[in-house]
């Protein structure tokens, strides 16, 4: 493995500081510190320009399902690049890779989802989904159905519409969002229920209660005005919020009762992350429209897709007019070629059943054995290869630390220093490793995380 050494690193840091504005970062503060330059990856590991080896407990941004350095995916992209580096789908044309990817997805998607549109990111997919929802209701002669509901703590991306849909409030003030026509309902965050004033309520009861809040909101706005409810099967960037067992069935009954379209955002939960191909399958959800990205290509190429259930596709595809929507790069041949190969690898290597019955249960068991009795760990929860370790002030009372985010960031910094990428969301430590991770690599992650959490507890005087 090559390392570039300090001079090269300083050169890159200086250029980065001079010319590159970072996403979700205070660039000025970052420039003082200097960025870490990641130079290559292999399996579940990354290396920086100083030669430091890092274990990636987050699959990049929850996306590298098959791990880094997969030659087959690179070759598939290279073949497409040499053969047809670009063409579009606007002018009565298509290409073999896009056609085959659309057909492949139709075999994996929930029943009735036989049609997909392509885009380039999760945000674009969600933006497109909202446009398609609006169009559907216009075609149905119900143009007054325009309000989009979503949840507190939701993350659906950063375009004007996707950010409006998101329920992470710090995402809004800089841009005067949300746009009109967006409304929120509570998240089914059972661990936080006590602190949020719901009392000592059981998880099943809480699931019903929070679903009912959706119905109350629909009735308050008026079902005739509510177009859709958007939700991730498991809320990811909002803190890995797993729905209580009762939640999704009740939500679906409510959406059906009030004729509200169900938009499921599978950007994180798609392609094996939860132990099924889609989180919708894990939770028995039948979406009207579904969005996916990340794991579709394992992040090797930017690509996303929107799938339409029968109800929406029957109406939209029989409108007898042009669908006035699409991107220059929708269904890009290189991205589709890489995605196809990625899906082939996931299937061939049996990664989804592996997550469901082997490595997912192993991760949960080992996290529980390690952290259940820890003085500052309130809850360990996981589904497939999505895991959360909630750091708390008071375990018995399920009380969080004041100033949410401080302790989590403190612990995350210890992880980084030790060569582990974990993410802190508020004070919840989150893991979402590649689906290929081995038991011994999980042990390495757990050992590093334990050391970071132990040191955090010691700094708090709680060791």
Ligand X SMILES: Cc1ncc(COP(=O)(O)O)c(C=O)c1O
Residue number, 171 or 392, with CB nearest to ligand X? 171
Does 263 participate in binding ligand X (rule CB under 6 A)?
no
Indicate which single residue of 214, 293, 445, 446 sits in contact with ligand X (rule: CB under 6 A): 293
Give the N- to C-terminal CA distance of the chain in Å, as an integer: 38
Buried b (16+ CB within 10 A) or exposed e, 225-257: ebbbbbbbbbbbbbbbbbbbebbbebbbebbee
Cis peptide preceding 178, ω within 30 of 0: yes
Does 391 participate in binding ligand X (rule CB under 6 A)?
no
Indicate which single residue of 215, 265, 276, 441 sits in contact with ligand X (rule: CB under 6 A): 265
Question: Which range, of 120-128, 188-196, 282-290, 453-461, touches ligand X by CB under 6 A?
Answer: 120-128
Does 155 participate in binding ligand X (rule CB under 6 A)?
yes
Q: What is the SS3 assignment for 327? A: coil
Residue number, 13 or 230, with CB nearest to ligand X? 230
Task: Please give the angle made by the CA atoms of 270, 80 and 437, to the nearest 5 degrees.
Answer: 35
Does 330 participate in binding ligand X (rule CB under 6 A)?
no
Name residues whose C-beta falls within 8 Å of residue 235's C-beta, 6 or more positions apart in sequence: 151, 153, 154, 155, 187, 189, 241
In the bound complex, what is the minimum distance in angstroms from residue 18's beta carbon to ligand X? 25
Count Cα neighbours of 250 within 13 Å in the Cβ-side half-sphere.
Answer: 19
How would you class 318 by CB atoms within 10 Å of its CB: exposed for 0-12, middle for 13-18, buried for 19 or more?
A: exposed
Question: Which range, of 95-103, 230-238, 368-376, 431-439, touches ligand X by CB under 6 A?
Answer: 230-238
Going by C-alpha positions, the residue among 213, 205, 209 that lies closest to residue 229 is 213
For the chain, the helix, strand and coil percentages under 3-state DSSP, each to the nearest 5: 45, 15, 40
Does 339 participate in binding ligand X (rule CB under 6 A)?
no
Structure tokens at 48: 């920086």
Does 121 participate in binding ligand X (rule CB under 6 A)?
yes
Residue number, 119 or 380, with CB nearest to ligand X? 119
In the bound complex, what is the minimum distance in angstroms from residue 386's beta carbon to ligand X? 11
In the window 92-111, what residues touch ligand X (CB under 6 A)?
Answer: none
Question: Which range, of 100-108, 265-273, 345-353, 377-385, touches ligand X by CB under 6 A?
Answer: 265-273
In the window 237-256, what residues touch ligand X (CB under 6 A)?
Answer: 237
Indicate which single residue of 13, 123, 274, 330 sits in contact with ligand X (rule: CB under 6 A): 123
In the bound complex, what is the minimum distance in angstroms from residue 264's beta carbon to ligand X? 10
Give strand pairing partners of 381: 388
Structure tokens at 406: 């401080």
Does 44 participate in binding ligand X (rule CB under 6 A)?
no
Q: Which residue is nearest to ligand X (CB)?
A: 122
Q: What is the bridge-based pairing of β-strands 45-48 and 53-56? A: antiparallel
Q: Which residues bind ligand X (CB under 6 A)?
A: 61, 121-123, 126, 155-157, 232, 236-237, 265, 267-268, 293
């Amino acid at each position: 493995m090559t390392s570039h050494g300090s001079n090269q690193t300083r050169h890159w840091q200086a250029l980065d500081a001079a010319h590159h504005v970072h996403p979700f970062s205070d660039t000025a503060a970052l420039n003082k510190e200097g960025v870490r330059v990641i130079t290559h990856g292999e399996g579940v590991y990354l290396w920086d320009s100083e030669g430091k080896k890092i274990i990636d407990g987050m699959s990049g941004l929850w996306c590298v399902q098959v791990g880094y350095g997969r030659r087959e995916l690179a070759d598939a992209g290279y073949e497409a690049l040499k053969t047809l580096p670009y063409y579009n789908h606007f002018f009565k044309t298509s290409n073999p890779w896009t056609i085959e990817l659309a057909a492949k997805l139709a075999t994996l998607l929930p029943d009735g989802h036989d049609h997909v549109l392509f885009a380039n990111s999760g945000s674009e997919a969600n933006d497109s989904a909202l446009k398609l929802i609006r169009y559907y209701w216009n075609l149905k002669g119900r143009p007054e159905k325009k309000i989009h509901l979503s949840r507190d703590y939701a993350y659906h991306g950063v375009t004007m519409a996707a950010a409006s849909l998101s329920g992470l409030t710090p995402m809004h003030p800089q841009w005067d969002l949300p746009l009109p026509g967006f409304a929120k309902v509570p998240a089914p965050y059972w661990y936080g229920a006590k602190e949020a004033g719901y009392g000592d309520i059981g998880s099943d009861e809480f699931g019903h209660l929070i679903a009912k809040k959706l119905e109350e909101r629909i009735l308050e706005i008026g079902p005739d005005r509510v177009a859709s409810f958007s939700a991730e099967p498991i809320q990811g960037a909002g803190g890995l919020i797993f729905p209580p067992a009762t939640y999704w069935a009740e939500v679906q009954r409510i959406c059906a009762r009030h004729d509200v379209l169900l938009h499921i955002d599978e950007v994180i939960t798609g392609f094996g992350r939860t132990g099924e191909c889609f989180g919708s399958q894990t939770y028995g959800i039948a979406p009207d429209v579904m969005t996916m990205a990340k794991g579709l290509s394992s992040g090797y190429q930017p690509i996303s897709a929107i799938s339409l259930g029968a109800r929406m596709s029957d109406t939209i595809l029989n409108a007898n007019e042009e669908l006035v929507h699409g991107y220059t790069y929708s269904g890009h041949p290189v991205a589709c070629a890489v995605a196809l190969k990625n899906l082939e690898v996931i299937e061939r290597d049996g990664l989804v059943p592996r997550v469901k019955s082997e490595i997912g249960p192993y991760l949960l068991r080992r996290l529980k054995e390690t952290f259940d009795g820890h003085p500052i760990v309130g809850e360990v929860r996981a589904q497939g290869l999505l895991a959360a370790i909630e750091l708390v002030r008071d375990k018995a009372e399920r009380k969080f630390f004041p100033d949410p985010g401080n302790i989590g960031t403190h612990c995350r910094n210890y992880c980084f220093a030790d060569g582990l990428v974990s993410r802190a969301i508020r004070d919840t430590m989150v893991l979402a490793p590649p689906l290929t991770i081995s038991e011994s690599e999980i042990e390495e992650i757990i050992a590093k995380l334990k050391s970071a959490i132990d040191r955090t507890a010691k700094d708090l005087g709680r060791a």
